[in-house]
A = this chain, B = another copy of it.
């Protein structure tokens, strides 16, 4: 019987354990077994590992295999013609990435019924949403192989596509694409401020530029990230380490003819950034919140400003397969303009998964990848 190694989260805040699992002998029709080529380490993986992030709607049942930003190669296919999201018929050897939870969206709950399927109450995902102590076991990316249930939305990658770029973009790019859709898109010619220079912020910059923004200002930290932002086309950057909130608000006004930006996007994860960001849009401007993924505590804000500025504040959570499809298109069509692959600054073998998680938590990497 063939087996595969996987990193198991057995208990929060404890080192993951490398275990051996049997590969399934027979796949159900429509299912797939993929060999993991590269799995990204997302900040969320670190938060889950620390036990800070519960599965919406209830407690997660351990053990699980983390790793939700994956590229794999088809090893075996279940019976039937299996197609990817674009309609390509799949075969062994194809390179894939996939959406982690769309196969569980029910289409019938209240939120599905009002066209808000990211809020589906029956949604459940790989890499944390399914315990791995029963077959098919291999339901996360930090492993040599992963099992994909029938109906998983998979995306065949172009032959010349950089695996690193797909993993680097990971969940950041479809998240920002979904968010931008929720604010009615960034319109041609709009001015945009991106708060945050992490992955979501950098991809927010790219999506804003490619949506026709006439100017994008990135507010963040770490010289190398702000330099990268400049290289990727940021019209302006503001370093939070040597500016006060008031100075940043003032700077945004100066850059927007005294009015404030058409669109501000919070990609920070820091509650106080919300209070600061509310002051940055122009009157009747839009403020998109995609950075406050974890409940990192309260912020003191002025409710009056919402009225006085006639703000529109939109939260966005999760994404759908079409957002991932758009993200892949961006990665492949603009690879010269944005060398996304270079964001993978460090690679770790599966055995060193705990080092990868630690390095991510300490911000010692731009982004880490795990190579089984």
| Interface residue A289 (Cβ < 8 Å from any Cβ of B) | yes
Contacts of A280-327 to chain B: CB distance below 8 A: 283-284, 289-317, 320-323, 325-326
| CB neighbours of A316 from chain B (8 A) | 307, 310
On whether the beta carbons of A310 and B317 are closer than 8 Å, the reply is: yes
How many Å from the CB of A3 to the closest CB on chain B? Answer: 32
| Interface residue A182 (Cβ < 8 Å from any Cβ of B) | yes
On whether the beta carbons of B315 and A292 are closer than 8 Å, the reply is: no
Q: A188-B326, A292-B306, A304-B294 are in contact. Are A284 and B210 (CB under 8 A)?
A: no
Q: Interface-forming stretch among A105-113, A132-140, A164-172?
A: A105-113
| Interface residue A80 (Cβ < 8 Å from any Cβ of B) | no
On whether the beta carbons of B115 and A321 are closer than 8 Å, the reply is: no
On whether the beta carbons of A116 and B283 are closer than 8 Å, the reply is: yes
Q: A180-B188, A188-B210 are in contact. Are A310 and B116 (CB under 8 A)?
A: yes
| CB neighbours of A271 from chain B (8 A) | 302-304
Q: Kindly state the interface size class of chain A when it binds its partner.
A: 35 or more
On whether the beta carbons of A86 and B257 are closer than 8 Å, the reply is: yes
How many Å from the CB of A112 to the closest CB on chain B? Answer: 6
Closest residue of chain B to A214, judged by CB? Answer: B329
From the candidates B188, B207, B283, B297, name the one contacting A111 in the complex (CB within 8 A): B283
From the candidates B103, B113, B313, name the one contacting A311 in the complex (CB within 8 A): B313
How many Å from the CB of A223 to the closest CB on chain B? Answer: 26
| Interface residue A151 (Cβ < 8 Å from any Cβ of B) | yes
**What's the number of copies of this chain in the assembled complex?**
4
| CB neighbours of A305 from chain B (8 A) | 295, 315
Closest residue of chain B to A309, judged by CB? Answer: B315
On whether the beta carbons of A307 and B317 are closer than 8 Å, the reply is: yes
From the candidates B295, B307, B311, name the one contacting A293 in the complex (CB within 8 A): B307
Contacts of A88-143 to chain B: CB distance below 8 A: 102-103, 105-108, 110-120
CA distance in complex: A214, B289 (Å)? 25
On whether the beta carbons of A177 and B188 are closer than 8 Å, the reply is: yes
| CB neighbours of A304 from chain B (8 A) | 271, 292-296
Q: A298-B301, A304-B296 are in contact. Are A284 and B119 (CB under 8 A)?
A: yes
CA distance in complex: A274, B299 (Å)? 13
| Interface residue A87 (Cβ < 8 Å from any Cβ of B) | yes
CA distance in complex: A312, B188 (Å)? 21
How many Å from the CB of A295 to the closest CB on chain B? Answer: 4
| Interface residue A189 (Cβ < 8 Å from any Cβ of B) | yes
| Interface residue A230 (Cβ < 8 Å from any Cβ of B) | no
Among A114, A290, A323, the one with the most B-chain Cβ atoms within 10 Å of its Cβ is A114
Closest residue of chain B to A277, judged by CB? Answer: B303
Q: Which residues of A contact B (CB under 8 A)?
A: 56, 86-87, 102-103, 105-108, 110-120, 151, 153, 177, 180-182, 184-189, 207, 210-212, 214, 257, 259, 266, 271, 273-274, 283-284, 289-317, 320-323, 325-326, 329-330, 333
List of 6 A-B pairs having minimum Cβ-Cβ separation, nearest first: A107-B107, A189-B326, A115-B115, A306-B315, A274-B303, A295-B304
